[in-house]
C-alpha cells in the first residue's frame, strides 16, 4: 500500500522588483519529505521573462529556417522553436513571434516548410535572423531554394526539409504556434547539425 504523502506547507510568496523593472516572485523551496530532495515551487504565471530566458538559454535547439510563400512573396525566419508532434499522420509544430507583423504571411499562406540547417550553414542562419541586415526580399539569394508540394520555399542544401500544410494555429502568449501536416520531405547530405546553446551557435 502506498505511504500517505504529507503535503508540504508553502511559505507566502514575496513580490519584488528587480533591477530591470520586472516584477518577480521569490522562488519557494520546500523539502519533499518522500525523496529528501529540494524542489523548486514556482507559480508559472509569475516567473519573470529574464529568468525564464536565462534558464532556456541552456536548452540546446536545432537551428532551422521556416519559410512560407503567399501571392509571390516569400519569407524565411531562423528559428529553434520547432518539434515533432506525431508520425501518424506526420505532424510538426513551429513557434513564431506574433508581435512581428511580417510573420502574418505564415497564417495567410496555409503552408510552410521547415528547413534543418547543418553545421556549415551558420551564414544562412544569420541572414534569416536579420543579423546581417539583409533585406527580407534579398534573403533568398543566399542558398538554393526550390519547392516541393505546397509551394513553400525549400532549401536544397538542408539536412532535411519538411513541407507542411497548415492544419492548426494557436496563439499562446507572444507567439503563434503553427501545426503542420507534413506532405513531403527531402533528405539532404547527412552532416553535423547546427545548434544554438548558451546564446551562441554550436555544432553537433
Ligand atoms: C538562434 C535563433 C533562434 C531563433 N528562434 C526563433 C524562434 O523560435 N521563433 C521566432 O519567432 N524567432 C526566432 N528567432 C528570431 C528570428 O530569427 C528573428 O526575429 C527574425 O528573423 C527577424 O526577422 P525580420 O528581420 O524579418 O523582422 C531566432 C533567432 C535566432 C538567432
SS3 81: coil
Measured CA to CA, the distance from residue 31 to residue 37 in angstroms comes to 6
Using pLDDT thresholds of 50, 70 and 90, give the confidence band for residue 47. confident
Name every protein residue with a CB atom under 6 angstroms from any ligand 1 atom. Answer: 63, 77-81, 95-97, 100, 102, 128-130, 136, 196
* Domains by residue range for the chain, with CATH: 15-56 (no CATH), 61-203 (2.30.110.10)
What is the Å distance from ligand 1's center to 16 Cα? 31
Which atom of ligand 1 approaches the CA of 126 most closely? 31
- Integer CA distances (angstroms), 179 to 32, 75, 106, in order: 38, 18, 11
Instruction: Give me the pLDDT at residue 38, please.
Output: 44
d(CA 64, CA 62): 6
Residue count of the chain = 204
pTM score over 0.85: no
Ligand 1 center to 41 CA (angstroms):
31
Ligand 1: nearest atom to the Cα of 97: 11
- The protein residue with its alpha carbon nearest to ligand 1, atom 17, reads 129
33 Cα: distance to centroid of ligand 1 (angstroms): 43
Ligand 1, atom 4: nearest CA belongs to which residue?
Answer: 79
8 SS3 class: coil
Q: Which residue did the predictor score with more confidence, 192 or 42?
A: 192
Question: How far is the C-alpha of 66 from the C-alpha of 143, rounded, in Å?
Answer: 14
Residue 132 pLDDT level (bands cut at 50, 70, 90): confident
Confidence of residue 136 (pLDDT cuts 50, 70, 90): confident
Nearest ligand 1 atom to the CA of 78 is 17
Is residue 40 over pLDDT 90?
no
Q: Where are the beta strands (DSSP E) in the chain?
A: 15-17, 23-25, 28-32, 37-41, 61-62, 64-70, 73-79, 82-87, 90-97, 111-116, 145-146, 154-155, 160-172, 175-187, 194-197, 200-203
Are the CB atoms for 143 and 125 separated by under 8 Å? no
Query: Best of 68, 75, 79 to mutate for ligand 1, by most ligand atoms within 8 A of CB?
Result: 79
Residue 46: pLDDT band by 50, 70, 90 thresholds? low
Is the pLDDT confidence value at 1 over 60?
no
N- to C-terminal Cα separation, the chain: 46
CB 182 within 8 A of CB 193: no
Amino acid at each position: 500500500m502506498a505511504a500517505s504523502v504529507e503535503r508540504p506547507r508553502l511559505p507566502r510568496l514575496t513580490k519584488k522588483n528587480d533591477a530591470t523593472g520586472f516584477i518577480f516572485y521569490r522562488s519557494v523551496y520546500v523539502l519533499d519529505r518522500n525523496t529528501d530532495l529540494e524542489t523548486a515551487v514556482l507559480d508559472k504565471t509569475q516567473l519573470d521573462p529574464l529568468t525564464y530566458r536565462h534558464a532556456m538559454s541552456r536548452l540546446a535547439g536545432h537551428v532551422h529556417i521556416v519559410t512560407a510563400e503567399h501571392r509571390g512573396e516569400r519569407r524565411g525566419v531562423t528559428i529553434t522553436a520547432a518539434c515533432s508532434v506525431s508520425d501518424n499522420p506526420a505532424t510538426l509544430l513551429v513557434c513564431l513571434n506574433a508581435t512581428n507583423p511580417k510573420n502574418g504571411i505564415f497564417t495567410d499562406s496555409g503552408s510552410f516548410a521547415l528547413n534543418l540547417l547543418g553545421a556549415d550553414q551558420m551564414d544562412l542562419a544569420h541572414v534569416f535572423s536579420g543579423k546581417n541586415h539583409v533585406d527580407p526580399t534579398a534573403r533568398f539569394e543566399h542558398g538554393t531554394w526550390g519547392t516541393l508540394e505546397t509551394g513553400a520555399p525549400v532549401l536544397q542544401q538542408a539536412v532535411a526539409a519538411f513541407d507542411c500544410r497548415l492544419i492548426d494555429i494557436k496563439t499562446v502568449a507572444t507567439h503563434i504556434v503553427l501545426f503542420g501536416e507534413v506532405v513531403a520531405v527531402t533528405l539532404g547530405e547527412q552532416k553535423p547539425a547546427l545548434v544554438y546553446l548558451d546564446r551562441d551557435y554550436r555544432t553537433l
